[in-house]
């Protein structure tokens, strides 16, 4: 049995990270289908009846999306372009065709468009040009990876200093009225065991992560420090309002054919045979990437939106995620079918790159979060978990993630 290495947070199952288009709800969409033309308001009506009636997407001013090449940002950019918005896409290398071609395709499909700007979280002032004239800034850029050698340099610095860089730039850009920060449930908790310690045994927006550190779940630590810094900067000015979305582990199909997000590594392990002997019942929450795009739009364009929002469709665990794939893919792929006992996971943890602390505090601990604020204030609705997993897994099969020999 091989269990991959650990990181932290719900995505911390990104911790198991070692282990652990389009509008509409059809299964099995493929790469490239993201450019299907469908009017934005139609899409909203399909996804969020409540907010569709009230959400107006202004198209006069451009909006900035940092980390536009990312998995989470891709659907957001698509929906903005389909609404007719000019998106200023801040990317590290606008010349890198492998990372920007899908965004260029979205732009070509219109009716809005994408303009590319070079910017780096670690270079103060580098977002100035991209932010010029923007009223809304979506700050999604932050490394989400579990395989790091130097967590300070690879996770904490870009998350924390990058957030400071982007938000300070917002204060120097008179047009900016709202900043939407892609934080994470990782800024609310570190390990599933933290749920039991939360008031009423359920995570809410009132809870802050106090247990992550450079040594334990550094990704969660990076997101916690970054969100705290965002609130500190927001409270020191009155020009723009900060609205935060706190997604749990993001699943569902990507718009970029070469995703870097840890989400894909987690799902890869469910299908590549790594967990064919079984999966630990390590608790976490999940949200579909398309529903998360909707949350970003609502956070940006609902006038009264404020504060943090847990954006999580389902309380689940790693085994349940794998089992959701059984009806459609169980015949052909070595999916996990049974729970690995905690003592066994604990025993082999060091060999798999997991810490025993991680196993002790996540395996067999149910994850519970209250998503009612996002449902009410942002009008969010969540699609079924199985639909998200089917769509993502189908796309990964098409992209060649799984070898045929991995059949049981």
What token pair was written down for 48? 């969020």
Residues 6+ apart with CB under 8 A from 81: 87, 106, 107, 109, 110, 111, 112, 113, 114
Query: Closer CB to ligand NAP, residue 44 or residue 90?
Result: 90
From the CB of 134, what's the least distance to ligand NAP, in Å? 17
Shortest-Cβ-distance residue relative to ligand NAP: 70
Query: Closer CB to ligand NAP, residue 320 or residue 334?
Result: 320
Query: Closer CB to ligand NAP, residue 67 or residue 336?
Result: 67
What order of strands is seen across the sheet that includes strand 249-251? 249-251, 283-288, 314-317
Place of tokens 């991680």: 358
From the CB of 283, what's the least distance to ligand NAP, in Å? 15
Tell me whether residue 45 is exposed, middle or buried, using C-beta atoms within 10 angstroms of its C-beta: 0 to 12, 13 to 18, 19 or more. middle
Task: Label residue 32 left, alpha or beta by phi (over 0 means left) and psi (-120 to 50 means alpha).
Answer: left
d(CA 100, CA 98): 6
From the CB of 76, what's the least distance to ligand NAP, in Å? 10
Answer yes or no: are the C-beta atoms of 297 and 76 closer than 8 Å.
Answer: yes
Using CB under 6 A, list all residues that contact ligand NAP. 11, 67, 69-72, 91-92, 99, 120-122, 140-144, 158, 182, 184, 223, 247, 249-250, 259-261, 263
Query: Closer CB to ligand NAP, residue 209 or residue 334?
Result: 209
From the CB of 371, what's the least distance to ligand NAP, in Å? 14
| CB burial string 94-128: b at 16+ within 10 A, e below | beeeebbebbeebbebeebbbebbebbbeeeebbe
From the CB of 224, what's the least distance to ligand NAP, in Å? 11
H helix runs in 278-383, sequence order: 289-301, 318-323, 326-329, 342-352, 356-362, 372-377
Query: Closer CB to ligand NAP, residue 84 or residue 307?
Result: 307
Q: What is the DSSP letter of 285?
A: E
From the CB of 346, what's the least distance to ligand NAP, in Å? 25
Query: Closer CB to ligand NAP, residue 8 or residue 278?
Result: 8
From the CB of 126, what's the least distance to ligand NAP, in Å? 8
Query: Closer CB to ligand NAP, residue 293 or residue 334?
Result: 293
Closest Cα to residue 287, out of 212, 378, 355?
A: 378
């Amino acid at each position: 049995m091989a269990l991959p290495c650990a990181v932290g947070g719900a995505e911390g199952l990104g911790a198991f990270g070692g282990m652990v288009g389009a509008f509409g709800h059809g299964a099995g969409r493929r790469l490239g289908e993201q450019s299907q033309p469908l009017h934005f308001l139609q899409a909203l009506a399909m996804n969020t009846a409540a907010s569709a009636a009230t959400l107006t997407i202004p198209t006069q001013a451009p909006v900035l999306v940092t980390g536009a090449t990312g998995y989470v940002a891709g659907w957001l950019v698509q929906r903005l372009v389909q609404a007719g918005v000019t998106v200023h896409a801040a990317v590290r290398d606008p010349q890198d065709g492998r990372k920007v071609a899908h965004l260029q395709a979205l732009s070509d499909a219109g009716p809005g468009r994408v303009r590319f700007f070079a910017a780096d979280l670690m270079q103060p002032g580098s977002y100035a040009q991209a932010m010029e004239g923007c009223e809304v800034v979506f700050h999604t850029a932050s490394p989400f990876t579990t395989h790091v050698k130097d967590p300070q340099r690879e996770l904490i610095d870009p998350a924390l200093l990058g957030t400071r860089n982007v938000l300070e730039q917002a204060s120097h850009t008179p047009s900016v009225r709202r900043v939407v920060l892609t934080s994470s449930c990782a800024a609310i908790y570190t390990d599933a065991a933290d749920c039991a310690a939360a008031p009423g045994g359920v995570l809410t927006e009132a809870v802050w992560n106090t247990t992550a550190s450079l040594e334990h779940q550094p990704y969660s630590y990076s997101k916690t420090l970054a969100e705290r810094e965002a609130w500190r900067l927001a409270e020191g000015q009155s020009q723009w309002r900060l609205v935060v979305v706190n997604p749990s582990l993001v699943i569902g199909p990507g718009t970029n054919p070469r995703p870097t997000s840890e989400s894909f590594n987690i799902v890869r392990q469910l299908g590549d045979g790594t967990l064919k002997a079984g999966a630990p019942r390590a608790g976490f929450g999940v949200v579909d990437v398309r529903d998360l795009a909707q949350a970003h739009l609502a956070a940006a364009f609902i006038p009264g939106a404020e504060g943090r929002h847990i954006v999580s469709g389902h309380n689940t665990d790693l085994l349940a995620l794998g089992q959701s794939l059984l009806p459609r893919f169980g015949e052909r792929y070595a999916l996990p079918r049974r729970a690995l006992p905690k003592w066994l996971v604990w025993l082999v943890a060091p060999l798999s790159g997991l810490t025993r602390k991680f196993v002790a505090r996540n395996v067999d601990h149910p994850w519970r979060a209250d998503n009612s604020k996002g449902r009410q204030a942002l009008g969010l609705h969540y699609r079924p978990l199985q639909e998200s997993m089917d769509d993502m897994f189908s796309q990964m099969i098409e992209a060649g993630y799984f070898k045929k020999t991995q059949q049981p």
